[in-house]
Amino acid sequence: MAQQHGNGHSVQHHVAPVIHYVGVWLLLMLLTGLTVAVATVDFGGSLNTVVALAVAGVKATAVIWIFMEVRHAQPLTKLSVITGIFFLVILLVFTFGDYFGRSTTFTPLEEGWRSDGPHSVGTVPELEPKPAHAPAKGPAKH
Amino acid sequence: MSAQSHTAESRGLAHHFEDFNQQLDASTFGMWLFLITEILFFGGLFAGYALYRSHMPEGFQTASSHLNIFLGGFNTVVLIASSLTMAMAVRSCQLGDNPKTRNFLIATLFLGLVFLGVKVIEYGEKIEHHLVPGPNFDTSIPFAQGQQMFYNFYFAMTGMHALHMIIGSGLLIYFIVRAHQGRYHSNYFGPVEIMGLYWHFVDIVWIFLFPLLYLLGLHLGGH
Amino acid sequence: MWKDFPLFPEAASTSARDVDLLYFFIVAINVIFTIGVFAVAVYFAIKYRRKNEHEIPPQPGHSTLFEVVSSAVPTVIVMIIFGWGTWLFYVNYIPPKGAMDIFVVGKQWMWKLQHPEGHREINELHIPVGQTVKLTMTTEDVLHSFYVPAFRTKKDVVPGHYTTLWFTPNKVGKYHLFCAEYCGTQHSGMIGWVHVMEPADYEAWLQGTVRGETMSQAGERLFGRLGCNTCHKADNSGRCPTLENVFNEPVRLANGQTVTADEAYLRESILKPTAKVVAGYQNQEMPSFQGQVSEDNVLQLVAYIKSLKKQPEVKK
Amino acid sequence: MSATLTTPPVSTQPPAEHRPTYLNITKTIGSWLLTLDHKRICLLYLLSIALFFSIGGFAAMLVRLELLTPAGDFLTADGYNKAFTLHGIMMVFFFLIPSIPATMGNFLVPIMVGAKDVAFPRLNLMSWYVFMFGSVLAITSVLLGGVDTGWTFYTPYSSTYSNSAVTFAALGAFVAGFSSILTGLNFMVTIHKMRAPGLTWFRLPLFMWAIYSTSVIQILGTPVVAITLVMVALERTLQFGFFDPKLGGDPILFQHLFWFYSHPAVYIMILPALGVISEVISAMSRRKVYGYTFVAMSSVAIAIISFIVWGHHMFTSGQSVYAGMVFSFLTFLVAIPSAIKVFNWLGTMYQGSISFATPMIYALGFLGLFAVGGLTGLFLAAMGTDLHMHDTYFVVAHFHYIMVGGAVMGFYAGLHYWWPKITGRAYPEFLGQVAGTLMFFGFNFTFFPQFLVGYLGMPRRYHAYPAEMQVFNILSSVGASILAIAYILPAIYLAWSFFYGKRVGDNPWEAKGLEWEIPSPPPTENFLKPVVVTEEPYTYTKEAH
């Protein structure tokens, strides 16, 4: 894919009509209005962020696809855009994986484990390593 | 990317490239790789922002409600317009029309400076209200710790974004001069296209910053 | 001579033996593969050494079987180690019930340890053999790490969080205590000893040392001095929730979530009251005590709140 | 791969003194400092990293001298902390990361790709100046009293409690990171866009695959540490409390952001060495690399998997047990490609015609030490044992086996293998073999005792330790002095050979590769005639030469 040297010197590069650019500009203006409108509605909890990011994502894709001419670009350029975003997602997912994983605070009470985090792990048989002598019961917290 | 040029029709072709196609290919791909590093560079800040927002939601929402939505929205519109003028500049450069390119670049530069002007106003406002994190941060406000963390990221992110705008404006001036000298032609427009990629990227960063920083608590009302 | 220079650390806790077992398993694999690889390389180098300057040896073919085996065998071995190591960690991750609580506060270059009965120790920890001990640890400044090599375990101590570590010593003796996370100039001075004693000697030690007030007594004194009792009343008549019987019970928050009132929750509510506000109470009432109370005081207040029981039982 | 060059057989080229080469084409200092020639930039880098390697080595000697005695009596506590931090920063940011990519990579990438120069020559020179500016910042931090946070800059110590010149060191590392990004970017574009006709991906030498994978990591990882160091600098100067627990910050977030780059960074250090060893073993045994595609793909696999394993640095920092399990599992996976490479190297040596020239001595040493380094990683990837071994000298020994046993041995192997091509002169063979063997034994003498004292529980970064651990530290310090000699010896005879070494032909090893088909030292434009590549790499055909 690197070797399709153009025949001779000229660079074939088809130039998009102006209407494409103005069209995208209008789309972006609309989406900005939508961003503000969407922010006034309470979708409850974390859904607000998801919706806000989705609208911003659409705007960003429009800019990338048309303004930055990725639609005419080689597959390699498309791949590099996706790789960049993919590794950013890796950073976010694994970092938050750690933080969300922590919220399941285990309280090994009598009836087995009860997690207080948003997602309950359910009852897991009590793992009781045999201390030499079991003194009086008392809540031990992680 | 373009080194000394000798014959007229191969003006702007660097010695180590076979032809214009390879040179454009290489420089565009190189720019995209640089933009990947920028995605991850801002990504680190977004990761920090997202984590602390999930830890201190009320602080972030209260602080975000102080921000002036109108100025933020106006800036977004200005930046989208500058993206349009930038794209038109690249298009006219591809057609080899140097004067038109120069004019669109000047428009982009003007919009960029308007954006920076609005930022200066906003920063001035924050400094007045002692909302700049650090020793003189006004800790009497509710959720002081959460608000201070919000302003940490507000100044870090918009500051880094403004820095990229300043660098962009400097580059625009350079390209305006070269366009004015008529350096570009339909085979040699790579540098302006790369400038366009950089500018559009900076616009995309703002597209994400605007909802995350300005519209955070809008649904709670109270603006 | 070798007694002074041990080649292998003492194993003084129940989990030490398991860790050593996994250690020897991996050492065995390491020895086999290292000797194998290096011996084969040297053998080939000698057997196929170049005879004359321009010799061209037969060129290799390609056998996918070799490739599959050379990746499958390491994968299997490595998964065995993964399973074993993760099981070992997971089993020891949850402190068993009924452990003796010790509170540890790391401070730049010393360990402050507090027994609930009131004994305070600096860089020293006296514990009876066989008694499971659970350490609830925090730090007043930078990161530290509570590390006892003889028990084969360590845990970083992070400012702003409680981290826990537990072990059950099963051998009497005096073992090193180190700070394993770099914490500044005297990082290598932040060391001490863990004395594992026979229960009888431990009791003697308990009586022998001067006993300050217990942690909950110190907590009660602080509770009064800081004016907490003006709002937190036993009969729930104050403007703030009562604290009787609160510890380790579910608490409904203003934002609808339910959280267990564990040590971390109590600490956060003292230092950052607005973080998790109890349902039915505004969030502006309680001032933050950040900076007014040290980590030791917070631990004492938590111990006091843990000791508050509904029926007017004599204070432990 | 042999390329059908249309020039007459090279041997009839006039000797190097009488024809223009990239070395003698211009003589002024200005022409060297403003050069756009990738081969000259390689030599500029070689000199600068030799300087930083000696500074780092000097700091290492201070550390080893201090650890001779249990009591901290040679250096003060603060002095020791600054010594090991200087050792860490100099070695990681200013020697290991640029070592092979910036020197041999710069020299060979355009040649192995069949191009006149890298894609962006001016960017290449700029990356050297950015690198030197970064080093000036780091040296300034030393002159201002040194920095005592360790090369990991862990907050909150680095951002609020340390009163040493942390900001300068952090900005120095930040700027050096940019030089690494620019080099990686340059190589990726060159390999993608400037390959000679007929040079498909699977005809690229394995060194190119290794450099390509390293560039992927440099581009994807370095920006994250750049922003993290900027955040630390902001926190120190303007009190922006990103990581300050008193202002609601979380030090664990710093660790996540830091290790997201710093673990892939250790693969930036070792991957080029793996590429060099593939080249050296293939040339010294005169055999095609066994399982070429597997070895190439394992480089790329390492580059990608290295981004999802960083949690194994944080098993003991209160990380959630689920995240720990996921990170532990993935860390074990990343060991597999390295195992594939080692077995395929052995396959290459089987039935080969193996010469014991210096590069092969270093490559054999590499095989042994890299095997130990890789396998001792298994202890630290398993959560059960990591609890005991984290932050002890076991970890120090593990990563030195990979970095010094692997990356530095690989660097020396490559330096000796391509020395005739870079300078057109031969290095003294016997001295080279002596230095290689000395380095292997000196290295083991230094770092093997650290495994034992590590399991005994001696924590990292201690300048005073319990008396019963003294034997191991004495052994290690003695070994370190042998290792120092083994490092200085090549520096001396290579410098000598640069000016007075015996002239060599274009292919002294009779190896296969585009770089062996051009004169040594090569002319500025590398290839005298356009290059067309027609066959697989490493094709040592049966007919006698």
Q: What is the pLDDT of residue C284?
A: 63
Radius of gyration of chain B (CA): 21
Sort D15 into a burial class: Cβ within 10 Å, 0-12 / 13-18 / 19+.
Answer: exposed
Buried b (16+ CB within 10 A) or exposed e, C56-87: ebebbeeeeebbeebbeebeebbeebbebbbe
Tokens encoding C69: 């085996």
Tokens encoding D317: 């920092």
User: Does residue A111 register a pLDDT over 60?
Assistant: no
C239 shares a domain with C192: no
pLDDT tens, D69-95?
998 889 999 999 999 999 999 999 999
Distance CA B170, CA B1 (A): 17
Distance from CA of A98 to the nearest CA of D (A): 5
Contact assignment for D464 to C188 by CB distance below 8 Å: yes
Distance CA D320, CA D314 (A): 10
Distance CA C295, CA D249 (A): 17
Distance CA D455, CA D452 (A): 5
Element (H, E) at D194: none
How many CB atoms are closer than 10 A to CB C226? Answer: 16
Percent of chain D with pLDDT over 70: 96
Nearest alpha carbon to residue D119 among D27, D174, D187:
D187
User: Does residue D341 register a pLDDT over 90?
Assistant: yes
Contact assignment for C6 to D468 by CB distance below 8 Å: yes
Q: What are phi and psi of C275, to 5 degrees?
A: -65, -55
Contacts of D262 in chain B (CB under 8 A): none
pLDDT tens, B157-169?
999 999 999 999 9
Tokens encoding C143: 């990161």
Q: What's the domain range around B28?
A: 20-218
How many CB atoms are closer than 10 A to CB C255? Answer: 11
Q: What are phi and psi of C174, to 5 degrees?
A: -120, 115
- Provide the mean pLDDT of chain C: 85
- What is the length of chain A? 142
Highest mean pLDDT among A71-75, B157-161, C274-278: B157-161
C73 with C134: CB under 8 angstroms? no
Label residue D412 by pLDDT band (50, 70, 90): very high
Tokens encoding D187: 């190589």
D185 with B34: CB under 8 angstroms? yes
Q: What is the pLDDT of residue D505?
A: 87
Strands (DSSP E) found in C151-244 = 153-157, 163-167, 173-179, 192-197
Q: Looking at this protein, which amino acid is placed at residue C223?
A: F
Which site among C253, C274, C283 would you substitute to test the B interface, given the most B Cβ atoms closer than 10 Å to its Cβ? C274
Q: Is residue C78 assigned to a domain?
A: no
Distance CA D247, CA D155 (A): 13
Nearest alpha carbon to residue D461 among D158, D81, D72, D165:
D81
Q: Is D237's Cβ below 8 Å from some Cβ in B?
A: no
Distance CA B131, CA B137 (A): 5
Tokens encoding D50: 């030799």
Radius of gyration of chain D (CA): 23
Contacts of D541 in chain C (CB under 8 A): 56
Distance CA B107, CA B96 (A): 18
CATH code at position B140: 1.20.120.80
Q: Is residue C70 assigned to a domain?
A: no
Higher pLDDT, C118 or D524: D524
Residues 153-212 of C with CB under 8 A from A: 164, 168, 170
Query: Helices B57-66 and B20-55 meet at what angle, rounded to 10?
Result: 110
Strands (DSSP E) found in chain A = 106-109, 112-115
ipTM of the complex: 0.89
Which site among B139, B143, B147, B148 would you substitute to test the C interface, given the most C Cβ atoms closer than 10 Å to its Cβ? B143
Label residue A126 by pLDDT band (50, 70, 90): very low
Q: Nearest Cβ partner of D119 from B26, B40, B52?
A: B26
Q: Which of B136-150, D12-26, D151-165, D433-447 has the lowest mean pLDDT?
A: D12-26
C299 with C107: CB under 8 angstroms? no
Mean pLDDT confidence for C93-111:
87
Which site among B32, B49, B108, B195 would you substitute to test the A interface, given the most A Cβ atoms closer than 10 Å to its Cβ? B32
Element (H, E) at C126: strand C124-128
User: Does residue C306 register a pLDDT over 90?
Assistant: no
Element (H, E) at C124: strand C124-128
Q: What is the pLDDT of residue B165?
A: 96
Distance CA D307, CA C168 (A): 37
User: Does residue A48 register a pLDDT over 50?
Assistant: yes
Tokens 């509770």 label which residue?
Answer: C223
Q: What is the pLDDT of residue C144?
A: 94
CATH code of the domain occupying D38-517 = 1.20.210.10
Q: Where are the alpha helices (DSSP H) in D92-157?
A: 97-100, 106-113, 121-143
Contact assignment for B51 to D116 by CB distance below 8 Å: no
Contact assignment for C181 to D510 by CB distance below 8 Å: no
pTM (2 d.p.)? 0.90
Domains held by chain B: number: 1
Q: Is residue C152 assigned to a domain?
A: yes
Nearest alpha carbon to residue C141 among C302, C294, C298:
C294
Which site among A67, A74, A76, A98 would you substitute to test the B interface, given the most B Cβ atoms closer than 10 Å to its Cβ? A67
Distance CA D486, CA D514 (A): 32
Label residue C119 by pLDDT band (50, 70, 90): confident
Contact assignment for A92 to B94 by CB distance below 8 Å: no
pLDDT tens, D289-303?
999 999 999 999 999
Q: Is C276's Cβ below 8 Å from some Cβ in B?
A: no
Distance CA B137, CA B130 (A): 5
Residue finishing a domain among C188, C208, C228: C208
- Name the DSSP letter for residue D403: I
User: Does residue A128 register a pLDDT over 60?
Assistant: no
Grouping H, G, I as helix, E, B as strand and the rest as coil, residue C169 is strand
Nearest alpha carbon to residue A61 among A41, A78, A40, A39:
A78
C230 shares a domain with C198: no
Distance CA D282, CA D180 (A): 28
Tokens 């050096």 label which residue?
Answer: D176
D117 with D36: CB under 8 angstroms? yes
Contacts of D123 in chain B (CB under 8 A): 30
Q: Which chain C residue has the Cα nearest residue B57?
A: C275
Q: What are phi and psi of D79, to 5 degrees?
A: -60, -40
- List CB contacts of B3: < 8 A, sequence separation 6 or more: B14, B15, D121, D122
List C-alpha distances in Å: D487 to D55, D58, D492, D494. Answer: 13, 12, 9, 11
Residue finishing a domain among C208, C224, C257: C208
Tokens encoding C36: 């194998």
Percent of chain D with pLDDT over 90: 81
pLDDT tens, B189-200?
889 999 999 999
Start-to-end CA span in chain A (Å): 57
Nearest alpha carbon to residue D121 among D495, D525, D539, D530:
D525
Contact assignment for D540 to C57 by CB distance below 8 Å: yes
Nearest alpha carbon to residue B87 among A19, C105, D96:
A19
Q: Nearest Cβ partner of A97 from D224, D318, D326?
A: D326
Contact assignment for B46 to A84 by CB distance below 8 Å: no
Q: Is D465's Cβ below 8 Å from some Cβ in C?
A: yes
Q: Is B20's Cβ below 8 Å from some Cβ in A?
A: yes
Distance CA C41, CA D368 (A): 9
- List CB contacts of C65: < 8 A, sequence separation 6 or more: none
User: Does residue D6 register a pLDDT over 80?
Assistant: no
Q: Pseudo-torsion of CA A70, A75, A76, A79, nearest 10°?
A: 80
Distance CA C87, CA C21 (A): 13
Q: For residue A107, what are the β-bridge partners? A: A114
Contacts of A139 in chain C (CB under 8 A): 97, 247-248
Label residue D55 by pLDDT band (50, 70, 90): very high
- List CB contacts of D387: < 8 A, sequence separation 6 or more: C19, C89, C92, C152, C153, C154, D315, D316
Q: What is the pLDDT of residue C211?
A: 66
Higher pLDDT, D131 or B186: D131
Sort D330 into a burial class: Cβ within 10 Å, 0-12 / 13-18 / 19+.
Answer: buried
Residue finishing a domain among C190, C208, C226: C208
Q: Which of B21-25, D320-324, D420-424, D539-543 has the lowest mean pLDDT?
A: D539-543
Using CB atoms, list chains with 3+ pairs below 8 Å to chain C.
A, B, D
Q: For residue C197, what are the β-bridge partners? A: C128
Tokens 């290292």 label which residue?
Answer: C34
Distance CA C305, CA C294 (A): 17
How many CB atoms are closer than 10 A to CB B37? Answer: 24
Nearest alpha carbon to residue D255 among D117, D152, D141:
D152
Label residue C137 by pLDDT band (50, 70, 90): very high
CATH code at position C254: 1.10.760.10
Q: Nearest Cβ partner of B145 from C272, C283, C284?
A: C272
Q: What's the domain range around C142?
A: 100-208
pLDDT tens, C167-212?
999 999 999 999 999 999 999 999 999 999 999 988 888 887 766 6
C184 shares a domain with C129: yes
Tokens encoding C150: 């003889």
- Provide the mean pLDDT of chain D: 91
Q: For residue C113, what are the β-bridge partners? A: C104, C121
Distance CA D171, CA D175 (A): 6
Distance from CA of C197 to the nearest CA of A (A): 14
